Chains A and B, each alone.
Chain A
Amino acid sequence: MVIGAWVAAALVAGCGTTPSSGGTPSTPAAEKSLILATTTSTQDSGLLDELLPAFTRDSGWQVKTLAVGSGQAIELGRRGEADVLLVHSPAAEEEFVAEGGAGSRRLVMHNDFVLLGPPDDPAGIRGRKSPEAMKRIADARAVFVSRGDESGTHAKEKTLWTKAAVTPGGSWYQSTGQGMGETLRVTSEKAGYTLSDRATYLTQRDTLELKVLSEGDPGLLNVYHVIEMTKKAGDRVRPDGAKAFADWIVAPAAQQLIGAFGTAKFGQPLFTPDAGADEAKLGQ
């Protein structure tokens, strides 16, 4: 099979670079192409569909987006497989930047996490602050569906359990290992509780039997940073592309797009632009 793979590689090596005849938009300048590893929330909410064409128009860079969990995105950065990251897992990000392979890390935007559950709320968490709500879910042994995929949302969930002094486990605690959209659906079908970013929830709430039961406390902030990778992470990293993207997304034009995104469809913006703001004062 390895031989087969080699033969196939030789046969198709040219096929990726020739302009496609199949009606797919061709990539005119393959050398000006960068890889963005980001979270499922930015893709599933539709934000990237809005931002990336504008970035390509402004800068000439083509972007290949890999929508994965924040943990996987950081791992791709660490291996030099991605040029720039847009992620929301601050503790893991700081650790990652401290390793030295990454370049600058800048604040881009935030939205917030919400605790969702069935409308009849058997664990009685409605209106409670997040740590107490988590404690009540655990005490009631109500079904809690975790992403379990080392994403930013999963990291936030683990922080909340720690704050609530609960070690989740047992049959009530279920882990999907999947993205937010799938996890929301599993939660809805099982009439359980879960933690979600607000953007993904809003884009899908019509198809879900889930209500926002706990929201608004500072522990539920969901902060996104852009991290540029450097050659230290790998020879083929494109720091110029990374810088172009990072500079662009914190500039006023992109920040305005971010702030406006979602208003028309959901009656409220899905993200709050934060470039240049003081992170310690977010959400106050």
Chain B
Amino acid sequence: MDVLLDGLADAIALLLSGDQDSWSIIALTLRVSLTATAIALLIGLPLGAALALARFPGRRVALAAANTGMGMPPVVIGLFVTVLLWRSGPLGGLELLYTPAAMVLAQAAIASPIVVALVAAALQQVDPDFRVQMQALGATPVRAFAALLGEARLPLLAAAMAAFGAVVSEVGAAQMVGGNLAGQTRVLTTAAVLATSRGQFSLAIAFGLILLLIAFGVNLSLTLVQQRRAVLR
């Protein structure tokens, strides 16, 4: 119990002290996870919409693949990205390994299937007559699609939250492709792992609590947006 209480005290102290190291870790965690989530949305929205709305051969297989991707162990994606980015790998010339960019890449790859699968599920739930209606009202395809996204915005924001939750709390891939470099690629999860292996348990718990706080903050903002619009309707 002492360790937990010390961790709580440490977390508060870290946040209040303006300690440069912890703030840079927090900033990087947010930067990497939010960028990865944004990229996953950019990739996942159109792909998920296509899977939900278009009819093409192999569509069910693609849906199954997206659903499988949701459960892909991050460490496998981390390994895949590491091998791609190795100096001796196909993308070695970009020199991205052990940079925040590599972490964004791995985390976007983790989050994209989540967004694809949840978006596909969300859009399939919208009443099929909706599109017919929109067309009957003379909406352009783009307008109709935008209206469709609006119709499904609650589950779409849920997809964004799921994607963010998956990447911000992820440690295996972040450690592998980022290398947990102090001041460069150390995020809250890898910092917590390092603190644990150094026997600094209360510090590790402090990082964990700050991580929870961040996840809560981001999800609270998304939920407020989601629910406010839901009420306004």
Contacts and interface: CB of A to CB of B under 8 A. Distances in A.
A9 B94 contact: yes
Q: Pick from A24, A35, A180, A207 the residue with the most CB of B within 10 Å.
A: A24
B162 interface: no
A22 interface: yes
B196 A181 contact: yes
A236 B113 CA distance: 33
B86 A81 contact: yes
Contact of A8 (B87, B109, B198, B201): B109
Given A4-B43, A15-B35, A236-B92, A24 B184 contact: yes
B182 interface: yes
A207 B201 contact: yes
A235 B95 CA distance: 13
Contacts of A8: 39, 43, 104-105, 108-109
Contacts of A1: 69, 109, 112-113
Dominant secondary structure of chain B at its interface with chain A: helix
A16 B100 contact: yes
Interface string B91-126: 110111111111011001100110000000000000
11 contacts: A8-B43, A8-B105, A9-B94, A11-B42, A13-B96, A16-B99, A25-B183, A44-B197, A49-B182, A182-B197, A185-B199
Interface in A8-24: 8-9, 11-13, 15-16, 20, 22-24
A179 B195 CA distance: 13
Q: Pick from B86, B87, B96, B108 the residue with the most CB of A within 10 Å.
A: B87
B105 A24 contact: no
Interface stretch (B7-15, B21-29, B151-159, B223-231): B21-29
B197 A181 contact: yes
Contact of A15 (B20, B101, B201): B101
